[in-house]
Structure 1
Amino acid sequence: MKSDRPSHEDFPHFQTLNTRWMDNDLYGHINNVTYYAYFDTVVNRYLIDAGGLDIHSGPVIAYVVSSGCDYFRSAAYPQVLEIGLRVTKLGNSSVTYSLGVFAQGEEALLACGQFVHVFVDRARETPVPIPATLRAALEPLCAPG
């Protein structure tokens, strides 16, 4: 029986991140809030590289409107992480991402996060349809079903 947790093979895109000394908390593992920074880094790097998102002066930007994370195993500095990215819902102006955190070279899921981006007009801060170049970059990340 397959676990409800996604596996390494469920993510079509990966980015490697090095943990930092400051990521550890007093308990000696990566603090839970730091995972959200990892997620934001991976998604935005993908949108910039694959979709041409101009975070500095483009007319459309993306706001995080919802997020969450489930933790299964600890990570700690110094450790290299592989963060998998997939899209679980691609709407008109919003996208829901799923992110899997793995220790480099390992198959066991450390944490699984999700967040929702809403694309907005930078000047008016109102939702707009996802630009064609970004939609084209996001479509290959869509999870089956």
Structure 2
Amino acid sequence: MPDSVPQRSDYPHFQPIITRWHDNDVYGHVNNVTYYSFFDTAVNTYLIEQGGLDIHDGEVVGFVVSSACDYFASIAFPERIEIGLRVGKLGNSSVQYELAVFKAGEEEACAAGRFVHVFVDRGSNQPMTIPGMLREALQRLVV
């Protein structure tokens, strides 16, 4: 668990998301597994819009090989949230994303997570060097 709650100023990019009715669990808050969906949505939206990732026909695919999340405060439907995104480590074929969930307009994160993508060749499933346009987009998020 992080030593302190991440702050909005720690992240260079934000992806807005609106929680959905079915995100809540029987306890009345967004279920823990849903946070991973928020992370996946934020990262892939960025990769598609900023890095030119072609999820349908491109030669490169990102596989998640590791993930984790720490929770600080609950969120619930209906809630407008923003997912903070940064890159903690950018390798030759892999990237470690660091993410945080913020209620719209709030400075402290409700949750903070991380996951690692390994980029692979779609045909062979073998790791490949991150293509130029994707690498440039990821480089902009390195902290």
Taking the TM superposition and a 5 Å limit, the aligned residue runs for 1:12-23 are 12-23=12-23
2:64 is aligned with what amino acid?
A: V
Secondary structure in 1 matching 2:89: strand
- Say how many residue pairs are matched: 141
Confirm whether residue 111 of structure 1 aligns to residue 111 of structure 2: yes
Q: CA deviation at 1:4?
A: 3.5
- In 1, Cα distance between the equivalents of 2:70 and 2:4? 12
Which digits, 9 at most, give the CA deviation of each residue in 1:47-90, with x for residues without a partner? 00000000001001100000000000000000000110000000
Q: CA deviation at 1:7?
A: 1.1
Tell me the TM-score normalized by structure 2: 0.97
Q: CA deviation at 1:5?
A: 3.3
Taking the TM superposition and a 5 Å limit, the aligned residue runs for 1:1-145 are 4-143=4-143
Tell me the TM-score normalized by structure 1: 0.95
- In 1, Cα distance between the equivalents of 2:42 and 2:124? 26
5+ residue gaps, structure 1: none
5+ residue gaps, structure 2: none
- In 2, Cα distance between the equivalents of 1:63 and 1:99? 17
Runs of 4+ in 1 over 3 A off after TM superposition: none
Q: CA deviation at 1:108?
A: 1.8
1:128 is aligned with what amino acid?
A: M
